[in-house]
Amino acid sequence: MALFVTAPASAGTTLGASAAEKGRYFGTAVAAYKLSENAYTTILNREFNMVTPENEMKIDATEPQQGRFSYASSEQIVNHARSRGMQVRGHTLAWHGQQPGWMQSMEGTALRTAMLNHITQVATHFKGQIYSWDVVNEAFADGNSGGRRDSNLQRTGNDWIEAAFRAARAADPGAKLCYNDYNTDNWTWAKTQGVYNMVRDFKARGVPIDCVGFQSHFNNDSPYASNYRTTLSSFAALGVDVQITELDIQGASADTYRRVVEDCLAVARCNGITVWGIRDSDSWRASQTPLLFNSNGSKKPAYDAVLAALNNGTTPPTTAPPTSVPPTTAPPTTAPPTTAPPTTPPPGQGGCTATVTVNQWTGGFVANVRVTAGSAALNGWTVTITLPSGATVTNSWSANSSGTTGTTNWTNVSYNGRVGAGQSTEFGFQGTGTVGSPSPTCAAS
């Protein structure tokens, strides 16, 4: 009797299995109320290995009344997914859209505090269960400004995005933290460049961001562009992962779907692709028939194109350098200040100085501290900051700390202790109370 060894039945025959063979995931948005529908879960369970709750983790769903959290439908999706080996993208912790009424009418300090509390509560609730969080969604303006969108969150201060990321990191250090947006797919668009510059700045300053989500809702007003791969690879070159988070394509051109898959596979740091719904009838833009399955659950030509592209794709090559980077937005060419100097200097000859920049609101603050080496390179540093009474540190980044009140000492972490002569590095902390204008001292170690 001949024995035939066959690959697992699913290998290369479903979106999830084929993506997994390329080290990627293939996901979909899921609505909790559809999980009782057999036709829906049959496709979901067969094809996908990543799930994003379509509405159930939004602020209006998880905190419908201030301080009262509600997780029934989001947990239903998380449990359905994880019990079947699928992972979960969390969507979304901070957004101008789908805010509950109580939050819509908030501004200023009260809103900033409520936002940080929301992030802390929700990310803590799902701690350890989320592959990546869309920490902040859609914060940039459409059009040619390249700047932030006006919103009640934006009006709490330009640092609201980084404050959100820091709160999310503190709550669930194991989740990848993403910034997510739409109309950021075309590399030449001002909005794309605005987000790119923010991510570059975040990476330079040690703000904890791990990934950028590209919603990729392609339609006649915002079509797929051939520079999409340049966009993905340019962001990846900043040192973040990239994820295609809400893909749908008006008319579901098989060729365009194929190109999107090929673009992701061409960028080593493109983790995976999520389509925004399973069947056309599940789409938020159903009339555009933008998805991979017909309303009756049958596979469309776009499905076949995606599966073939996943199976044809070669093992991820190293990220191709961007081919058409506009001169004003090229990644920085200078080495980051944390790069180790070629030789190890003796400790502490030239000393160091530290300066603090504070963003204070009623009841809380964020402090960024810049450590600058003197005439000799630093091997390590300690900054001492005396906080006024009533000020308490609740969260910090890029430094080890001792104490949360009164005299606090901050020492470098492994990656930012070495600072070249005259060069700088930064760390920061967040707290409650009033911090005033502290005068830090710095010592080389």
| Residue numbers annotated as active site | 138, 246
Taking the complex as a whole, the smallest distance from the CB of residue 137 to ligand XIL amounts, in Å, to: 5
Q: What's the min distance (Å) between Cβ of 138 and ligand XIL? A: 6
The CA-to-CA distance between both ends of the chain, in Å, stands at 73
Torsions phi, psi for 204 (to 5 deg): -65, -35
Q: Which of residues 26-55 bind ligand XIL (CB under 6 A)?
A: 54-55
Q: What is the Cα–Cα distance from 59 to 325, expressed in whole angstroms?
A: 36
Sketch the per residue contact string, 246 through 265, with ligand XIL: x for CB under 6 A, - otherwise. Answer: x-------------------
Over the window 130 to 149, marking each residue x when it contacts ligand XIL by CB under 6 A and - when it does not, the resulting string is -------x------------
Taking the complex as a whole, the smallest distance from the CB of residue 254 to ligand XIL amounts, in Å, to 23
Residue 74 interacting with ligand XIL (CB under 6 A)? no
Taking the least distance from each CB to ligand XIL, the nearer of 246 and 426 is 246
Binding mask 90-129 for ligand XIL (x = CB under 6 A): ----------------------------------------
Q: For residue 47, which phi and psi values (nearest 5 degrees)?
A: -100, -25
Nearer to ligand XIL, 54 or 263 (CB): 54
Position 324, amino acid: S
* Angle at CA of residue 199, ends 238 and 186, nearest 5°: 85
CA distance 95 to 98: 7
Which of 215/423 has CB closer to ligand XIL? 215
Residue 215 in the binding site for ligand XIL (CB under 6 A): yes
CA–CA dist 130, 371 (Å, integer): 34
| Comparison of 71 and 284: residue with beta carbon closer to ligand XIL | 284
Is the separation of the CB atoms in 164 and 131 below 8 Å? no
Nearer to ligand XIL, 69 or 284 (CB): 284
Q: Distance between CA atoms of 138 and 145, rounded to whole angstroms?
A: 15
Pairing of the two strands 270-275 and 176-181: unpaired
Residue nearest to ligand XIL (CB): 284
Backbone dihedral angles phi then psi of residue 164, each to the nearest 5 degrees? -65, -45
Name the 3-class secondary structure at 346: coil
* 284 lies in the binding site for ligand XIL (CB under 6 A): yes
Give the footprint of ligand XIL on this chain (CB under 6 A). 54-55, 137, 215, 246, 284
